[in-house]
Amino acid sequence: MPVNTPDSTPNTAQTILTPLTAHTALTAHTGQPAQTAKEAKEAKEAKTRSSQPPIRRTRVSWLAPTGLILLSLIPLLAGAARVAELTGGAAETADNSRFLDSPIPVFVHIVGVTVFSLLGAFQFVPTLRRAGHRWHRVSGTILIPAGLLTALSGMWMVVFYPHPVGDGLALSALRLLFGAAMVAGILLGIRAISKRDFVSHGDWMTRAYAIGMGAGTQAILLIPGAIIFGKTHELSRTLLMGAAWVVNLAVAELIIRRRARKAGGVAFTHVPEHPYTA
């Protein structure tokens, strides 16, 4: 009977390695841990991204801000029309009397939300949002006051302006709730950046921006609602406007989680730049 000596080599065609022994063998041979399937997939995806032409990557990075600007067009155009009405000596009507009687809050709100929505859209361009980038710092000093003015002036109008037809107490409560949440998000973002916690700063500002962009989503949802129920139907207006804020916040949370996954699911703090992009 043939016997394998220490010098004999086993037939590789008949050798069966379990995943564990294969992993051990590769580790012993290379001196490095074998790459898991998940690591191999992530490395492949990173290689694919890095192999994309620079022009293509640039175009993709501008999709988000372009979409956000388009989303804000309807409320911004309505705001511009309101400013023209306030400064052009328009005749008083039931729709504009509350604004003509006290124009400063609505004017501050329109200017604030215009700056916040347009300038905030560019924060979703990865190359501009890197911590330490001069544009990001300068725009942040404008965005934060604009966001606070937007939320606070909106809440002031809810409390002190007469309610138009179709706006009930439930909708007023929602406006105050989400306005307060927007203020809280901005303040938490300020607290995070003061601690150089860039990840938390980006997350809280993303949530605040989502609330501030509620008017854009509301304009889209209210169009079919007005066709079906009428534009002064109180319940439908309340539900659709509340749904718009919820949808925006849900999208914001998806963006935040996508960033975390791209960063490997690790919470980074005190880093020189954002470890992830939108």
Give 63's pLDDT tier (boundaries 50, 70, 90): confident
Q: Is the pLDDT of residue 274 over 50?
A: no
Q: What does residue 223 show for φ and ψ, rounded to 5 degrees?
A: -60, -55
Give 270's pLDDT tier (boundaries 50, 70, 90): very low
Q: Is the pLDDT of residue 173 over 50?
A: yes
CA angle (125, 128, 131) in 5-degree steps: 120
Give 204's pLDDT tier (boundaries 50, 70, 90): very high
* Cα(219)–Cα(92) distance, integer angstroms: 24
Give 124's pLDDT tier (boundaries 50, 70, 90): confident
Which pLDDT tens digit goes with each residue over 186-200?
Answer: 999 999 999 999 899
Smallest CA-to-CA distance from 176 within 152, 151, 161, 155 is with 155
Q: Is the pLDDT of residue 275 over 90?
A: no
Q: Is the pLDDT of residue 136 over 90?
A: no
Please name the residue ranges forming H helices in 51-197: 54-61, 63-87, 97-101, 103-121, 126-129, 134-160, 169-194
To the nearest 10 degrees (0 to 180), the angle between helices 103-121 and 134-160 is 150
Q: Is the pLDDT of residue 57 over 60?
A: no
For 15-24, 62-71, 237-246, 251-260, which range has the lowest pLDDT when averaged over its residues? 15-24
Which pLDDT tens digit goes with each residue over 216-239?
Answer: 999 999 999 999 999 899 999 999
Give the residue carrying structure tokens 């916690």: 197
| 213 conformational bin, left if phi > 0, alpha if psi -120 to 50, beta if neither | alpha
- Give pLDDT, residue 46: 53
* Cα(98)–Cα(96) distance, integer angstroms: 6
Q: Are 127 and 151 in contact (CB under 8 A)?
A: no
* Cα(134)–Cα(112) distance, integer angstroms: 22
Q: Are 196 and 166 in contact (CB under 8 A)?
A: no
Q: Are 220 and 247 in contact (CB under 8 A)?
A: no
Smallest CA-to-CA distance from 105 within 129, 86, 77 is with 86
Q: Are 223 and 244 in contact (CB under 8 A)?
A: no
Which pLDDT tens digit goes with each residue over 16-38?
Answer: 444 444 444 444 444 545 456 65
Higher pLDDT, 22 or 211: 211
